[in-house]
Amino acid sequence: MKAKVTPLHERIGKDIESLILSGELSPGDRIPFEHELMELYGCARMTVSKALSALNAAGLIDRRKRAGSFVSRPKMHAMILEIPDLEVEIEGRGEVYEYRQLTRTVRPAAEMNEEEVGLAGGGMLLDISGLHIANGIAFALEDRLISLNAVPDAIQSDIAGMAPGAWLLRHVPWTEAENRIAAINADHRTAKLLQMAQRDACLVVERRTWRGDERITFVRQMFVAGTYDLTARFGAHQKKPSA
């Protein structure tokens, strides 16, 4: 038997967590004081503190000086959204993934377009369009702009069969990203390229990424409705707000 290799602070955390999730402790209830827990578990205060700090960071409890620690109320304003790598996703289903480049140009930002001007940062833009294809059927149209100011190497990325997103992920570290998810009716070009009827619904994902304050890329992906959807899961209360 390999029994207890579980750290004590982790065990304390799990104990309290299960009390909360089982309902024995309800939101608002006070958790035993640190000195009570250190007596209960026969350990030093730092050990208890580590356990409670972890629960606090996870958003399971709120800690107030002089008052104690309390089970926090689930607020549910944030969930984890999976942003799948399309290639991995498709091949995970046992289908054949392919990326087909449609156009590729280097051009300056359109002056009236704030998005492009901000992205370019005074430099040129690499403008790439392509199709994501599963088992020979195009399911997504991607229009991407890359700041050559931020990623000069991108101009050499002439790998025809590689999606620019995958290339970027491997070559350019990013620090921040933002996704916008919406639905629109397919315009003429999109409908034609994705072989769908005009005005058919599309799921649109727009993604912007930064490295520090520098804009890296802007991409808009149009998915044929019904062939693709996003899933966000959430377990055990909300995450803490990032600083």
Partner DNA sequence: CAGTGGTCTAGACCACGAA
Partner DNA sequence: TCGTGGTCTAGACCACTGG
d(CA 152, CA 172): 11
Compute the C-alpha angle 88/94/99, nearest 5°.
50
6 lies in the binding site for a second copy (CB under 8 A)? no
* SS3 label, residue 173: coil
Q: Scanning the structure block, which residue is given the tokens 């926090």?
A: 72
42 binds, among DNA, a second copy, none (CB under 5 to 8 A by kind): DNA
- Cα dihedral 107, 122, 141, 191 in deg (nearest 10): -70
63 lies in the binding site for DNA (CB under 7 A)? yes
Residue placing its CB nearer to DNA in the complex, 51 or 154: 51
Tokens at 22, concatenated: 């089982």
169 lies in the binding site for a second copy (CB under 8 A)? yes
Which of 171, 172, 165 has its CA nearest to residue 212? 172
Residue placing its CB nearer to a second copy in the complex, 83 or 137: 83
Give the binding-site size for DNA (rule: CB under 7 A). 26
74 lies in the binding site for a second copy (CB under 8 A)? yes
13 lies in the binding site for DNA (CB under 7 A)? no
182 binds, among DNA, a second copy, none (CB under 5 to 8 A by kind): a second copy
58 lies in the binding site for DNA (CB under 7 A)? no
Tokens at 107, concatenated: 């051009």
11 lies in the binding site for a second copy (CB under 8 A)? no
63 lies in the binding site for a second copy (CB under 8 A)? no
d(CA 183, CA 108): 29
Residue ranges that bind DNA, judged by CB under 7 A: 5, 7-10, 33-35, 42-47, 49-50, 52-53, 56, 63-69
